[in-house]
Structure 1
């Protein structure tokens, strides 16, 4: 499967496409019906912080469906992991901290998010898992 990097309302960098493609190429999971990749910092917690977990879903045509960045809300035993930022390319919606906007409104944040995320992957801060849809 080849990841598509054009035809989105927000520009997807070649670097992000290369990261997703690399994970597919390294995996033995059947990706033909689509898949989800999870990037997790094993040390991330509500108390000590760390790198936010990220989930990327891709359909059977190699198109990115959504990218979700999670964060802890609250503290101590009441902290909950929830969506902080969500770029839903299928529904053309951008969500930030529970508020929903047309995806184009998230363009500058998406550009910054992509740059930071690709840097974190390059520094190998995440454990990565891939599962079929």
Structure 2
């Protein structure tokens, strides 16, 4: 069975490449009703930097028109704030499709306000994940 990720007609453009990447990662977990995918650079620290951790949440839905497909609930990019032992991993960019909000350093805004930054973020993420394979990936089914 082919995994379908709902990526069209969303409030932010999700590229077919991003959807295919997620579909490949979750293909072994078709029995799950929800999946969280974590992308981690094992060398990322507050002191040295590195590639930001990313978390993507997907939930399965079924309808008469499209059959079974997965929808993206949120995409969150984390970064360290602070230095040394005071550094804390926090949300840097949060694209919350379920709530219709976008959160960044400027605060919480309607998700449509992320229409310019999301494609840039996605392009960079795919280059890091698929191009240079910067991440260790953990898939957690529910």
TM-score of the two chains, using structure 2 as the length reference: 0.88
1:85-112 deviation line (CA, Å, top 9, x unaligned):
0000011100002610000101111010
| Match in the other structure for 1:108 | 116
| Match in the other structure for 1:125 | 134
SS at match of 2:93: strand
SS at match of 1:17: helix
| Distance in 2 (alpha carbons) for counterparts of 1:108 and 1:51 | 21
Greater per-residue strand proportion: 2
SS at match of 2:4: coil
| Match in the other structure for 2:99 | 91
| Match in the other structure for 2:67 | none
Contact map agreement 1:84 1:98 (CA 8 A) in 2: no
1:16-67 deviation line (CA, Å, top 9, x unaligned):
0011011012x4x455311100000000000000000000000112000000
User: What is the count of residue pairs matched by the alignment?
Assistant: 131
SS at match of 2:10: coil
TM-score of the two chains, using structure 1 as the length reference: 0.93
| Match in the other structure for 1:80 | 88
